[in-house]
Amino acid sequence: MIRLFLALTLLLAPCSPLLAADNGLSGTLLVANRTGGSVSLYDLATETEITRLPIGDKVPHELTASPDGRWAVTSEYGGGSNPGQHLVVIDIPAAAIVRRIDLGPDTRPHSIVFLDDNRHVITTLERAEQIALVDIIDGEIVDTFATGGSDSHMVRLSPDNRHAFVAARGSGTLSKITLDGSELTSVIATGARAEGIAVSPDGERVWVANQDASTITAVDADAMEIVGVIGSIATNRVEFLPNGIAVIPGGMEDGADVRHITYFNGSTLAEVGHLALPGSTAFGTGVRLLAANNALFLADSALNEISAVVPAFVGERTVIAINPDNVDGMAWSPLRVTSVAGRPN
């Protein structure tokens, strides 16, 4: 299989027409709209925006969904002089905001991930240089952990939920935090403006996208040692597919002629596939990634598109929605919305 991957170069054609019956997708895609401060819920089978939930002027950036698909959580990040301090809990089938959890002043939550129990999340508290363990049902902070980094922006969990890995933009570092407190936090330098982060499905590697260094650093998750570096890619996001292939949006740097998605073998760091995206850097640089539902979802703020590559590695790109509201984080639930309190704006 790996040999086949190494032989593939995926120069895909322009997006296929919006044929909902043919997209192979199901469930609900949630997206955080930075413009206007809201979360949209899309029914993937019909490619329809079911509703849009207002978050407020402390606009959301990131989203996560519980493993069972019942809950979604977004963070009030806010603007530079208007930081947020709440997590917002969404009942996905009911398409309703059910709770706002106050994390305190000078916190500015950003990235969020669910634990396997469908009840607890880990979120970065960017201003406090901490992560917090939060019970979304009781609506309270259970514990906090110092990250040892500056501007702690993105967090991901090990598959066994024992460790949290945090990328810190200000210090250009990766932190490993043991959530039961049995080990000291480990911190290593990965590169300038370390931001995007992903943990391999087997838990053996952590990849960090260092935007200002134009590098991707592969780290041994156990030893916290750098095992490889991919150069000449200026990006702030990276994602792993369930088969261990890493996905990186590239061609975003000044002077690039074309934007693209590149697939890499997560163990060898060898390039195994390539997907050309419409537009040059004149259109902007923002591409967010989500691997779910046998698809790779792309939120392209430059083209105002949400699209999906189905299947995630060898499929074609299909536009799901046109969304001009600067989509950032995304989350997927296998459940569909069963009741709607409001309608899209």
Whether residue 15 has pLDDT greater than 70: no
In this predicted model, what pLDDT tens digit does every residue of 204-255 receive, in sequence order? 999 999 999 999 999 999 999 999 999 988 899 999 999 999 999 986 555 5
Q: How confident is the model at residue 79 (pLDDT cuts 50, 70, 90)?
A: confident
Work out the average pLDDT over 15-39. 78
Whether residue 52 has pLDDT greater than 60: yes
Work out the average pLDDT over 158-170. 98
Q: What is the residue extent of each domain of the chain?
A: 27-264+323-333
Whether residue 106 has pLDDT greater than 50: yes
Whether residue 11 has pLDDT greater than 60: no
> Whole-prediction pTM value?
0.91
What is the reported pLDDT for 250?
80
Whether residue 334 has pLDDT greater than 50: yes
Q: Are 55 and 342 in contact (CB under 8 A)?
A: no
Q: How confident is the model at residue 21 (pLDDT cuts 50, 70, 90)?
A: very low
Q: Which residues make beta-bridge pairs with 307?
A: 298, 319
Q: Are 12 and 276 in contact (CB under 8 A)?
A: yes
The CATH class, in words, for 27-264+323-333 is mainly beta
Between 258 and 244, where is the model more confident?
244
Q: Are 141 and 121 in contact (CB under 8 A)?
A: no
DSSP string for 277-332: ESS-GGG---EEEEEETTEEEEEETTTTEEEEEESTTT-EEEEEEE--S-EEEEEE
What is the reported pLDDT for 255?
59
What is the reported pLDDT for 17?
33
Q: Are 31 and 333 in contact (CB under 8 A)?
A: no
Q: Hey, which bits of 136-244 come out as E strands?
A: 140-146, 152-157, 163-168, 173-178, 186-189, 194-199, 205-210, 215-220, 225-231, 239-240
Cβ contacts of 242-245, under 8 Å, gap ≥ 24:
242/201, 242/291, 242/312, 243/201, 243/313, 244/200, 244/201, 244/202, 245/5, 245/272, 245/273, 245/313
Whether residue 271 has pLDDT greater than 90: yes
Measuring CA to CA, which residue among 122, 96, 118 is closest to residue 109? 122
What is the reported pLDDT for 252?
59
Whether residue 260 has pLDDT greater than 90: no
